[in-house]
Amino acid sequence: MNICFIMYPWNEIDAENDTSLALIKECAKRGHGVAMCTPANLTIRDSVTSAFCNVIGRMEKVPNSLKAFYNKVKLREEMLPLAGFDAIFFRANPPLDPIMLNFLDSVKDDVFIINSIEGMREANNKLYTAAFGDAHSNIIPNTHVSKNKNYLVQQIKESKADKMIIKPLNGFGGSGVILIEKSAMSNINSLLDFYINSSDGSSNYVILQDYIEGADQGDVRILLLNGEPVGAMKRIPGEEDHRSNVSAGGSIAKHTLTKEEKALCKQIGPKLVKDGLYFVGIDVIGGKLVEVNVMSPGGITYINKVYKSKVKVEERVIDFLESKVLDKLQAFDRRSRLRKTVEEA
């Protein structure tokens, strides 16, 4: 099987903790061909969508550790047609480039893509979580999204809580997430000005969300594969930062899913699968869904470390990828046989 990872640059990888690297290493361990490219490296030549790829050279023996694997990898650059791959694994960081999706539209019927192009378009930003909220379930915190500063200020004033969370619509990795308090309204005004107004004169959407009690103790990152949880960890904020993201200085601990969290996964799983969002990371606080991460959900290496289980999360992900590619190939072979029967009739 040949797999193309559309992701961030190779030299930006954290060689000890990177989820994409763990997935790539598992593919190499199984003898699959692996190539990588960034969204900026997509191109069209003679009406064929291709990419300037870094291809990983085959290894006789793949090292056990991520860091050793990363250091041993030898790359060669080639321009390759995307339709020639069996699968495309999308792992680029937000924000999502809509033009990049236009490139992939031309190959989505030929190659299994995880996550699907349609699903990525629908779920690439933090607004997607609103799709799971309704008057009966109450699984997401009360949320406002607007560019209107006066409206946002009014919602803060009318809120029964003293604290709320504010964040940019297109942030990731905990970037721009701020805890605000009513007692500092003058600071809130200037903060909203900063988030909403861009230097080029345009304006940005801001998310205002109810603060969930217990958030200061951290959140839970749950990885979902084909709508089912395959791993989870508790993320605990550092002493000097309210954010629990590991990239923001947070730490990790084991976590066993609660009855409430299992019910949440069961409720949202079918929609994720329906939208072609097969590998997803969700962030949960107090049983409420805070974010759905569909572009490059991380956490595999940390979950593996805290649980030390025999079956690693990346193994289950690549098992699933192989099964989907096999299904696609078998369906193609079946259609080919049926067409031949009709032609020879």
Contact 71, 15 (CB under 8 A): yes
Q: What is the pLDDT of residues 7-55, one digit of tens each?
A: 999 999 999 999 999 999 999 999 999 999 999 999 998 999 999 999 9
Contact 111, 124 (CB under 8 A): no
Q: What is the pLDDT of residues 249-300, one digit of tens each?
A: 678 999 999 999 999 999 999 999 999 999 999 999 999 998 899 999 999 9
CATH architecture of the domain formed by 215-308: 2-Layer Sandwich (3.30)
Q: Where in the chain is the domain with CATH 3.40.50.20?
A: 2-114+314-328
Continuous segment of H or E residues that includes residue 105: helix 98-105
Measured at the alpha carbon of residue 167, what is the angle toward residues 163 and 173, in degrees to the nearest 5? 120
- What is the amino acid identity at position 14? D
Q: Where in the chain is the domain with CATH 3.30.1490.20?
A: 142-210
Continuous segment of H or E residues that includes residue 318: helix 313-344
2-114+314-328 belongs to which CATH class?
Answer: alpha beta
Closest C-alpha among 248, 242, 238, 245 to residue 220 = 245
Sorting pLDDT into bands at 50, 70 and 90, what band is 327? very high
Per DSSP (E only), the strands in the chain are: 2-7, 33-37, 42-45, 48-56, 75-81, 87-91, 112-114, 143-146, 163-168, 178-181, 206-210, 219-225, 228-236, 251-254, 279-285, 288-293
Q: Where in the chain is the domain with CATH 3.30.470.20?
A: 215-308
Mean local confidence (pLDDT), 312-325: 97
**pTM of this structure:** 0.86
142-210 belongs to which CATH class?
Answer: alpha beta
